[in-house]
Chain A
Amino acid sequence: MEKKRFVPRSFLIEVLVLAGIFTLVQYLIVSGLLNEYYQINLSSMCINIILAVSLNLINGFTGQLSLGHAGFMAVGAYAAVVVTTIYSQPFILGLLAACLAAGLAGLIIGVPTLRLKGDYLAIATLGFGEIIRVILQNIDFIGGPAGILGIPRYSTWPWLFGLTIFTIVIIVNLINSSYGRAIISVREDEVASELMGINTTNYKVLAFVIGALFAGLAGALYAHYFYIIKPSTFNFLKSFDILVMVVLGGLGSTTGAVIAAIFVTMLTAALQTFPAIRMVLYAVTLVVVMVYRPQGLMGNKEWGRRTWGRIWGEKNEPLANK
């Protein structure tokens, strides 16, 4: 048997690949080879990945259908903007405020609503998402329905890329921990997992709060990239957008969510001039995927080291040796 390395080689390869992508894009941006249009899409991609991966934690891994993700995004966006723009504090404080505020909103909404199941939960979260929007619309301090203009553009590529990777790492590690196993057991069979001594409500709330927290982070990044936020941006159609990504990628597959987020962003960019057709396509995709492949394109499979190993022809070690 091979001696165990302190740092596994596959981990090093992953770090190198990510660093390579990062440096390449950073070089392209700095050298001006990547024009504004591509930069915007690249940034939307990162934000959408964070949103899709975090919603996937709630919808895919915990099996609790939430339709209020845009609401948490709004809370994060507004919290961050209040800190950075109105109180002119550094960006990092804004991000922290966004996570805290959205996580708190997730807790406040999650504790009562997660007692509900399936369809009722979906409608209740949809309702809360809309209530958040209506409340934001009625607060004059943050601009009411007109929103806030002139937000400084702090969301640079290093921030966007770094936080996207951060989100994915945290959520993947959470799923692979004992907490994650408990979360998945709630999805598989709530009654059975309760009988195994798992406090299902706790784990549901945990997943919900973490999902909301990252949605808030995405909201903060969004606000500091696009200069302007207004409550109507975060309506339930935005939640459906994120849902499309999660469903398309596969409920319960983080790689699926990432791929779908990239794909949907590109599709959106390609169909920018025909917004109605884009939504019709979304709708048809949702129905067709649900009818023919209800588990989503990736199901709950992940692309990872093992898949790449198979492609490179590496021998598959049995899991027990890892």
Chain B
Amino acid sequence: MLEFLQQLINGLSLGAIYALIALGYTMVYGIIMLINFAHGDIMMVGAYVGFFSIAVLGSNIFAALIFAMLSCAVLGVLIEKIAYKPLRNSSRIAALITAIGVSLFLEYFTLFLLTPQQRVFPEAAFPLHKYQIGGLLISNKDIFIFALAVILMIALQYIIKRTRTGKAMRAVSLDREAAILMGISVDRTISITFAIGSSLAAAAGVMIGIYYNTINPLMGIIPGLKAFVAAVLGGIGIIPGAMVGGFLMGILETMVSGYGSTLYRDAVAFGVLILILLVKPTGLFGKDTGEKV
């Protein structure tokens, strides 16, 4: 039982990271019906920005986090303007292939610039403490990641539910044409969505840097895919779904590593995806809507 609780705690911080990435997938999908394949790589860029601001500029972890979030917000908007906007009215296959292209570009351009070498996240930026609570081992890393993720999620929920921008985002995702008629600037709203989603991914990137200690240019692929699975699990386009899905995926993954084999860890994530797609493609929180001709 104690081990189970321990795995649960480990899973919660990993799940928080997945949830943050999944939110970006879900928001973008909700608004332009595109799986932003490059999202995991935006997270990777965020991790690198965080790394360099700590290692080179010597900033503390919070400044690094904010810096990473801001630069990735800009990056996200740029990607949308350059690659996705011209394809808004073309087929979804074309948009998806473009997203794969953007993803490859981010990965290999970083690889080219910074070499494939692994970089160790500076230990000094976040000294590790471990606390023993009732037989459970909890580190300040876990607490930091979990608390920060929850704060960001609350902030996001506030933006979406309580501000005019959030209202515009909901309107565009519900019915784009009607939103235009109501005087909402669709371009601006889509840009803001990309900015918010990408900054959440950047925060997740810095957290992954703290969590795994090492970063490399291809680190975004697997967490990105798993976060995507999380988004589908919760019901893609549904924000609370992405949060729950992210936590479920994180917990599932640590359980599989803890009780089963780490080798099958990645296969399990995809297994969950296929199961969900076959049994309930709309996800846990999704409503079935019939196909309209």
Contact = CB atoms under 8 A, between A and B. Distances in A.
A63 B83 CA distance: 22
B111 interface: yes
B192 to A, nearest CB: 23
Given A286-B100, A287-B83, A124 B94 contact: no
A68 B93 CA distance: 15
A128 B276 CA distance: 14
Interface string A288-319: 00110010000000000000000000000000
Contact of A284 (B86, B96, B105, B261): B105
Interface in B226-284: 228-229, 232, 261, 263-264, 266-267, 270-271, 273-274, 277-278, 281
Interface in A240-282: 240, 243, 247, 251, 276-277, 279-280, 282
A243 B273 contact: no
Given A191-B293, A290-B97, A291-B87, A118 B112 contact: no
B263 A137 contact: yes
Contacts of A243: 97, 100
B281 A290 contact: no
Nearest to B218: A237
A283 B112 contact: no
Nearest to B273: A127
B111 A290 contact: no
Given A115-B278, A135-B267, A280-B105, A123 B87 contact: no
Contacts of A135: 267
B35 interface: yes
B90 interface: yes
Interface string B198-236: 000000000000000000000000000100110010000
Interface residues of A, number: 40
A280 B228 CA distance: 24
Interface in A182-228: 191
A287 B98 contact: yes
- Which label, helix, strand, loop or mixed, suits the secondary structure of the B interface? helix
A191 B292 CA distance: 10
B101 interface: yes
A119 interface: yes
Contact of A138 (B97, B105, B264): B264
A17 interface: no
Given A118-B92, A280-B112, A130 B270 contact: yes
A126 B96 CA distance: 13
A287 B101 contact: yes
For B96, B104, B111, the residue with the greatest tally of chain A CB atoms inside 10 Å of its CB is: B104
A73 B219 CA distance: 25
Contacts of A283: 101-105, 108-109
B32 to A, nearest CB: 12
A28 interface: no
B80 interface: no
Contact of A118 (B96, B102, B266): B96
B100 A240 contact: yes
A142 interface: no
B91 interface: yes
Interface in B61-111: 83, 86-87, 90-98, 100-105, 107-109, 111
A118 B93 contact: yes
For A247, A282, A285, A294, the residue with the greatest tally of chain B CB atoms inside 10 Å of its CB is: A294
Given A63-B93, A120-B277, A291-B86, A286 B232 contact: no
A267 to B, nearest CB: 14
A112 interface: yes
Nearest to A118: B92
A97 interface: no
A86 interface: no
A112 B293 contact: no
B105 A287 contact: yes
Nearest to B90: A294
A14 B183 CA distance: 61
10 contacts: A119-B34, A123-B35, A124-B277, A127-B273, A128-B274, A134-B266, A134-B267, A138-B264, A276-B112, A290-B97
Interface of B: 34-35, 83, 86-87, 90-98, 100-105, 107-109, 111-112, 116, 225, 228-229, 232, 261, 263-264, 266-267, 270-271, 273-274, 277-278, 281, 293
Given A119-B96, A280-B104, 11 more contacts: A118-B92, A123-B35, A127-B229, A127-B273, A128-B274, A130-B267, A243-B97, A277-B108, A279-B111, A280-B112, A294-B90
Interface of A: 59, 63, 65, 112-113, 115-116, 118-120, 122-124, 126-128, 130-131, 134-135, 137-138, 191, 240, 243, 247, 251, 276-277, 279-280, 282-287, 290-291, 294
